[in-house]
């Protein structure tokens, strides 16, 4: 069995610490991207709701125009 020295253990611990640091930075990057995507999704949902409202207004106006011009199918 190989001799285990304090230096070898310290070297392995430093390697583990470096890898954990890289994982932590990667996780922060992913969280930042996720926040950005959530923000974009919120904007898309808000725009979609606004568009739905505008379409509903157009249908209401169209119905009033058809009623006024007596163009509705009976």
Write down the pLDDT at residue 62.
Answer: 95
55 to 12, 51, 67: CA distances (angstroms): 64, 6, 18
Reported as a single tens digit per residue, the pLDDT across 45-67 is 999 999 999 999 999 999 999 99
The pTM assigned to this predicted structure is: 0.63
Write down the pLDDT at residue 4.
Answer: 82
Reported as a single tens digit per residue, the pLDDT across 7-30 is 999 999 999 999 999 999 999 999
- Residue 29 near residue 21, CB atoms below 8 Å: no
Cα distance between residue 53 and residue 59, in whole Å:
10
């Amino acid at each position: 069995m190989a001799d285990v020295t304090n230096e070898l253990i310290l070297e392995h611990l430093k390697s583990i610490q470096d890898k954990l640091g890289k994982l932590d930075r990667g996780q922060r990057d992913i969280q930042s991207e996720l926040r950005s995507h959530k923000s974009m999704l919120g904007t898309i949902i808000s725009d979609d709701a606004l568009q739905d409202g505008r379409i509903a207004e157009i249908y209401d106006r169209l119905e009033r125009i058809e009623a006024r011009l007596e163009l509705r199918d009976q």
